[in-house]
Each structure stands twice: as structure tokens, then as C-alpha cells.
Structure 1
Amino acid sequence: MDHREPPRDRRAYAEFQHLQTRWNDNDQFGHIYNATYYELFDEAMNMSLIKRGFLDGSSGGPIQVVVENGCTYFTELSYPDRLEIGVRIDRIGKSSFRLSMGMFRAGQDIESARSHFTMVTVDSATRRPMETPKAQRDALATLIVPPAQRPILPDQAGHNP
């Protein structure tokens, strides 16, 4: 197995979205079903993007589509946990960006799961990639946590968090 980055603490994220788990989020083993994690991360991501003027599909302007995502699980969560999902931008390119999100049980300092979504900006009519408008890149930049402010946990020495 490849190197697995340990869980991050709250300081690794720029902002938090608060969500409540639901009874039907639990699977037969009594913890949140793995696909539900993606739904919860997607909800938090969309809350952060809407706050910055994204996801207006009726404007005719560029839209962002997911081209890659992934999730790493550290500790179980289950209903009725209250969640705080940290959001940050890892990188912004010419036509794409990557968000990372950490899922925390409310009040805990270490994430229980982490997800990433890579988004590409496309023309809403042709669905062809295009440069992300400067105003959108500037809005995304508000979610960047400068490396100097990101925590380095003892077992992360030598690894880029």
C-alpha cells in the first residue's frame, strides 16, 4: 500500500460547514455508509462554492464539473453525529482547481475522514474546458490555507500536508 497521510487537524482548513447526520445515513453495521460520505462532502463543497457565487447554472457562464474525487476514512461516524466539514483549496490552475475537505465530529480536533474533488471549468453550452475566470479564481483563493499556517503533526515530518 502507498503512503497514507495521517489525519489532519482543524487548522488545515479555511472554513467549516456544519451538517447533521440522518438516521438513514447509517448502514447495517451502524456507521455511515461509505457513499454517504461523498454526499456529505459534496454538500459542504457546494455550500462553500455557492457562498462565493458558483453554481449558477442559469447564467450561461462557465460551470465547474468534477473530474476526480476520493475519500480516506480514519474513524467511524454514525447517526446522530453532528459534523463540521472543513474546506480548503489545495491548488488553482488555469482551468481547474482541487478542493480538500476534512470531516470532523463536532468539537473534535482531528478529522474522521478526508475527501478531495478536482473540478474543471467548462463552457456551459459546449461543455469544453475553458480558463477559469479571474473573479472565480480570486473567490477560490479565499479558501487557500497558506502552508506556513498549516499544522505539521509529528508523524507528518517531511510530508507536504
Structure 2
Amino acid sequence: MTTREPPRERSAYAEFQTLQTRWSDNDQFGHIYNATYFELFDEAMNLSLIRRGFLDLAKDGPIQVVVENGCKYFSEVSYPDRIEIGVVLSQMGTSSFRLDMGMFRNGEPRESARSHFIMVTVDNATRRPMPTPEAQRQALATLMLPPA
């Protein structure tokens, strides 16, 4: 096995979305069920994208679809934890991009979990990949961190 990357700190993310865990998020072991992490990460990602003009279903333009995601767990999260999910654009291609997200519980400095979502821009009618429009690229760029 390879060496596992340690949890990241808050400075690894460009913006944060605050969410509240729910009683129903807990599993029989008293912590958040693994599939629920994906729901929470998806919610934070969508809030960040909506803020930038994405996910407007009334428009005819291109849409983004998830083609890959994953999650690493570092420490337990459970109800009634208040979580902040950091979002950062980590890669940008011609028609795809990768968002990394870190889940921080109750103000902790290091993430409890980390997820990534890779999205591909597709034509809304044909569902075929297409280049991400320049306006969307510029909006996504606001989720990048300045070079170190």
C-alpha cells in the first residue's frame, strides 16, 4: 500500500459551505453513514456552483455531469455536528474539471473527510462532451487558490 496523505487544513480550500447534520444521517454505529458523506459533499458542491450561475435548469446551455467521485475518511462525524465543507478547483481541462472538498466538523482545523468530484461539460440536448464555455471557466476559476 502507498502512504496515505494526511488530513488537510482549512487553508487548502477556496470557500466554505456550512451544513447541519441530521439525526437520520447517523447509522447503527452512531456516526454518519458512508453514503451520506457523498450527499453532503454534493450539496456543498452544488451550493458553490449555483452561486456561480451553474445548475440553472431553465436555461438551454451546457450542463455538467459527474463522471467520477471518491471519498477518504479521517475521523468520525455524527449528529448533531455542524460541518463546513471547503471547496477548491484542483484541475481544469478543456471539457472537464475536478473539485476537491474537505469536511470540517465543529470548527476543527483539519478535515474529517475529503472528497473529489470530476465533472464533464456536456451539451444539454445530446449529452455529448463539449468545451466548457469561457464564462463558466472564469466562474470556476474563482474556486482556485492563488499559486503558493
SS at match of 2:47: helix
SS at match of 2:102: strand
1:12-51 alignment, distance < 5 Å? 12-51=12-51
SS at match of 2:127: coil
RMSD across aligned positions (CA): 0.7
**Residue identity in the other structure for 1:61:** G
Where do 5+ consecutive residues of structure 1 fail to align? 149-161
1:3-82 alignment, distance < 5 Å? 3-82=3-82
Shift of 1:92: 0.9
SS at match of 1:101: strand
**Alignment: residue pair count:** 148
SS at match of 1:88: strand
C-alpha distance in 2, partners of 1:147/1:6? 21
C-alpha distance in 2, partners of 1:4/1:115? 14
C-alpha distance in 2, partners of 1:94/1:100? 18
Shift of 1:57: 2.1
Where do 5+ consecutive residues of structure 2 fail to align? none
TM-score, normalised relative to structure 2? 0.98
SS at match of 2:118: strand
1:84-123 alignment, distance < 5 Å? 84-123=84-123
C-alpha distance in 2, partners of 1:89/1:53? 16
Q: Percent identity?
A: 76
Displaced runs of 4+ in structure 1, greater than 2 A?
none
Q: Does 1:146 align with 2:146?
A: yes
Shift of 1:59: 0.7
SS at match of 1:16: strand
C-alpha distance in 2, partners of 1:10/1:142? 17
**Residue identity in the other structure for 2:7:** P
Q: C-alpha offsets along residues 5-42 of structure 1, whole Å, 9 cap, x if unaligned?
A: 11000000000000000000000000000000000000
SS at match of 2:35: helix
SS at match of 1:78: coil
Q: C-alpha offsets along residues 75-111 of structure 1, whole Å, 9 cap, x if unaligned?
A: 0000000000000000111000000000001211100
